[in-house]
């Protein structure tokens, strides 16, 4: 694979929120990069900090409600965490677009769909109103909405769920951004509609060369869409690698658990699934050692004392787990017996 340019670099990001119950450390040191034209998937359960990470990239949360404790986010030449909100406005919508989970709440219910798409074009590309509306009809056509001219003059409630998500994609891509952040874009949709939207995203990426950060908990979607994968747990990054690395040679026990706990459609029915016992830790408190230790069947003494560093398992494949320390006992990876047909 040729060396692509780094579009976005996140380094040791730490984010906290102040709540009545105390400080919540939502993200606890996450680093990754997104290259031009690639799809990076961030996988994790609810509360793992995946959405907070993505929102930090856009500085979406009002500055007085969030604390960026540490780390850099570099998007092209911009230090995202250092510039003013005014500067960010030039990037948001123009260079980074976003699609959210629920298209009904992310669209303005009192505004014509065409106008919502035109808004960004008028602000960022300084088009006049007529031109912007013309362009927004083109965008609607591009995302596969029939009768685009009439549909542009309708309100979001007149669209179905899948169609609304197409509208959000049209808004996000209107200014031809370099990066698209898709936060659970299909979770609220049905499978047949989900397939349509994923197909559309792949197709548009091929045509426009947009990089995508895909946030999801659905491993099936990740297997279909992503080139690289980041797995998050309790605000930390536990594993990072290419799609093949993570699915066929996963290193972290949490990744093993995730892969084993989804029923496979080609698996025999009514067998017991290998579930991960217990629940994720409370993010109010400091976590001593590895965040996964209490649910991990391989946990050792050191896991309770010291957080593991990222161990290198292969080229650009890391797992934060003490099992890869040279003094750790040998553990058989339960995933290796899965089929790896086209393993090169």
Partner 1 sequence: MSENMVEVKNLKKYFNVGKGKELKAVDGVSLFIRKGETLGLVGESGCGKSTLGKTIMKFYEPTEGQILFQDRDITKLSRRGYLNFTKEAQMIFQDPYASLDSRMTAGSIISEGMDIHKICSSKSERQERVYELLNLVGLNKEHANRFAHEFSGGQRQRIGIARALALNPEFIVCDEPISALDVSIQAQVINLLLKLQGELNLTYLFIAHDLSVVKHISDRVAVMYLGAIMEVSDSHNFYMNPLHPYTEALLSAIPIPNPDVTRAKKRILLEGDVPSPVNPKPGCKFASRCKLAKPSCFEKAPELKEVEPGHFVACHMVSGE
Considering only 68, 247, 322, 324, the residue that binds partner 1 (CB under 8 A) is 247
Query: What DSSP element (H or E) covers 149?
Result: helix 148-151
277 binds partner 1 (CB under 8 A): yes
- Beta-carbon contacts of residue 96 (< 8 Å; ≥ 6 apart): 57, 58, 75, 177, 178, 179, 180, 181
Nearer to partner 1, 64 or 343 (CB): 343
Considering only 259, 283, 313, 319, the residue that binds partner 1 (CB under 8 A) is 259
1 binds partner 1 (CB under 8 A): no
Q: Give dist(CA 137, CA 116) in Å, integer.
A: 11
Q: What is the DSSP letter of 341?
A: T
**What angle is formed at CA 275 by the lines to CA 299 and CA 220, rounded to 5 degrees?**
110
Residue whose C-alpha is closest to residue 236's, from 199, 184, 290, 299: 290
Nearer to partner 1, 228 or 320 (CB): 228
311 binds partner 1 (CB under 8 A): no
Nearer to partner 1, 165 or 320 (CB): 165
Nearer to partner 1, 12 or 199 (CB): 199
329 binds partner 1 (CB under 8 A): no
Q: Are the C-beta atoms of residues 239 and 320 closer than 8 Å to each other?
A: yes
Considering only 8, 163, 180, 204, the residue that binds partner 1 (CB under 8 A) is 163
104 binds partner 1 (CB under 8 A): no
What character string, x for contact with partner 1 (CB under 8 A) and - otherwise, covers 192-231?
Answer: xxxxx-xx-----------------xxxxxxxx-------
Residue whose C-alpha is closest to residue 157's, from 120, 105, 192: 105
DSSP bridge partners of 280: none
Of how many residues is the chain composed? 344
Measured from the CB of residue 224, what is the shortest distance to partner 1 in angstroms?
A: 5
Instruction: Compute CA distances 210 → 95, 252, 277, whole Å.
Output: 10, 30, 39
Nearer to partner 1, 149 or 190 (CB): 190
102 binds partner 1 (CB under 8 A): no
Characterize the bridge pairing of strands 96-99 and 317-319: unpaired
Considering only 263, 301, 329, 337, the residue that binds partner 1 (CB under 8 A) is 263
Task: Enumerate binding residues for partner 1 (CB under 8 A).
Answer: 45-46, 160-163, 190-196, 198-199, 217-224, 243-244, 247-248, 257-259, 261-267, 269-277, 279, 338-339, 341-342
């Amino acid at each position: 694979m040729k060396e692509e340019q780094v579009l976005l670099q996140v380094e040791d990001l730490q984010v906290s929120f102040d709540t009545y119950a105390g400080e919540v450390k939502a993200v606890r040191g996450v680093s990754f990069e997104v290259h031009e034209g690639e799809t990076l998937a961030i996988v994790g359960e609810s509360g793992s900090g995946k959405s907070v990470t993505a929102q930090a990239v856009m500085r979406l949360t009002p500055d007085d409600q969030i604390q960026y404790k540490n780390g850099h986010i570099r998007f092209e030449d911009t230090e995202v965490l250092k510039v003013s909100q005014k500067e960010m406005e030039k990037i948001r919508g123009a260079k980074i677009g976003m699609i959210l989970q629920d298209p009904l709440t992310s669209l303005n219910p009192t505004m014509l769909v065409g106008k919502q798409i035109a808004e960004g074009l008028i602000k960022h590309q300084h088009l006049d109103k007529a031109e912007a509306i013309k362009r927004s009809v083109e965008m609607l056509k591009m995302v596969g909405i029939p009768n685009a001219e009439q549909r542009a003059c309708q309100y979001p409630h007149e669209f179905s769920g899948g169609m609304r998500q197409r509208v959000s994609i049209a808004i996000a891509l209107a200014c031809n951004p370099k990066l698209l952040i898709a936060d659970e874009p299909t979770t609220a949709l049905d499978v047949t509609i989900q397939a349509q939207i994923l197909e559309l995203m792949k197709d548009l990426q091929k045509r426009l060369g947009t990089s995508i950060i895909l946030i999801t908990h659905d491993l099936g979607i990740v297997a279909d869409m992503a080139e690289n994968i980041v797995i998050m747990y309790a605000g930390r990054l536990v594993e990072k690698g290419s799609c093949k690395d993570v699915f066929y040679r996963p290193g972290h026990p949490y990744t093993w658990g995730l892969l084993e706990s989804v029923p496979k459609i080609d698996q025999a029915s009514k067998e017991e699934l290998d579930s991960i016992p217990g629940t994720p830790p409370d993010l109010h408190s400091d976590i001593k050692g590895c965040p996964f230790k209490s649910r991990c069947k391989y946990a050792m003494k050191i896991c309770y004392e010291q957080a593991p560093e990222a161990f290198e398992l292969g080229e650009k494949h890391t797992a934060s787990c003490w099992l890869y320390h040279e003094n750790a006992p040998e553990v058989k990876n339960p995933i290796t017996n899965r089929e790896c047909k086209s393993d090169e």
